[in-house]
Amino acid sequence: MDPITHAVVGGLIAQALLGRQWPRSAWVLGALAGMSPDLDIFFTGHSLIASLFHRGPTHSIALLPVMAGLCLLPWLLRAATRTHLWRAYGVAMLGVASHLFIDTCTSFGTMVYWPFSPTRVALDWVPIVDPIFTLSLIGLLCAALWRKQLRWAGVGLAVCALYFSLGAIQHERVMTSQTALAATRGEVREHGRVTPTFGNMWVWRSLYRTQDDLVADAVRATWSAPQVAEGTRVPRPAASTYPTTATGALFLKFTDGFVLPYGTQDGAQIWADARYSLDTRGFVPLWGMRMDVDGRAQRITLASRLGHSLWETWCLQFGTTQAYRPLTECLSGPLGPAGVPSGHHNIPSPHNSHSDTGAAHSG
């Protein structure tokens, strides 16, 4: 999630557990601990390599005690705060742990088992950014500090517990719907992901791959049975066309295999991360990798059809569209052009794309 959310959650933990001992600075320690794993952005910059290695070693359980100790250092320099240090260290560890847990609950992927395993854990429970959730926690932390009542920090932590529990339940409901949808179409699903859309846990992006295609749909999971807005299928690229450089292989692994060719730019091949799209049930990717003929790889931002996609997402989320149908009424048999909304069947060309300044050599 975003740094503000991490800081506020860490601050709530520290205020609840250390507020009586350190009434003025407990939340500051928690906020620093909550944000500390994201220090890796200062070492990797904003290049493609930065994207591929963010949420790496500093987000691992192995370095958790070290990160907590670094956060506690400023308090060791003042005699007035050299009390309750072991308690403060435990609180700092919980702050760092909250960052690892929250990031693991999103779809980006976090290397919590480094250095024993490079696997990225992504539970896909909650959005990467949720302003309503963040603002609610900010209000509760401010109440705890202003009123000097620790119970408000406890309320904030209870809200966090309910929020992530709801995400886990919703994820299970939507994943079950995806399984049923693929079965209705008579398809063998090799691998599937469902992720909540921006700022909510009611409308989800369903993405799965078969032997031949990638298929995207939107699923709305409210209090009633989940409904589906059928979307788009695109052919999977042949394995022989994937980039063979070390950076290309790392990008393929980072995206969990959900990559698509996105045209060329000045002779360079562009590969898009198909997990994220402006169109919930389509393929309008947010970013990707530009692979030059000499093997150089760059991070590239893709921003096609921005206004239309945001309006469609608004309609999908708040029910102002007739696209949703119960699973029992969805298309029987493989999804084809007849089940694709107008303008969603083809991957648009990257004419509005631009490269980021950072670049990385394959090696």
Residues 194-217 have pLDDT tens digits of 999 988 999 999 999 999 999 999
Average pLDDT score over residue span 306-313: 60
Per-residue pLDDT for 138 more than 90? yes
162 and 17 within one domain: yes
If we measure between CA atoms, which residue out of 56, 58, 65 comes closest to residue 39? 58
Domain end (from 136, 167, 198): 167
The string of pLDDT tens digits covering residues 83-92 is: 888 999 999 9
Task: Give the whole-angstrom CA distance, residue 46 versus residue 93.
Answer: 28
Verify that 76 and 161 share a domain, yes or no: yes
Domain that holds residue 327: 190-361
Quick one: 224 and 136 in the same domain?
A: no
Are 276 and 337 part of one and the same domain? Answer: yes
Span 160-189, average pLDDT: 95
pLDDT digits (tens, 9 = 90+) for 164-176: 999 999 999 999 9
The per-residue pLDDT for 292 is 87
Judged by average pLDDT, the poorest of 77-81, 108-112, 278-282, 345-349 is 345-349
Whether residue 335 lies inside any domain: the answer is: yes
The predicted pLDDT at position 280 comes to 87
Confirm whether 185 is domain-assigned: no
| Digit-coded pLDDT (tens) for 223-256 | 889 999 988 999 999 888 888 888 888 898 999 9
Look at the chain and report how many structural domains it folds into. Answer: 2
Same domain, 229 and 124: no
Question: Given its phi and psi angles, is residue 200 left (phi above 0), alpha (psi -120 to 50 degrees) or beta?
Answer: beta
Q: What pLDDT sits at residue 168?
A: 98
Do 196 and 231 have their domain in common? Answer: yes
- Does 27 fall in a domain? yes
Reported confidence tier of residue 341, pLDDT bands at 50, 70, 90: very low
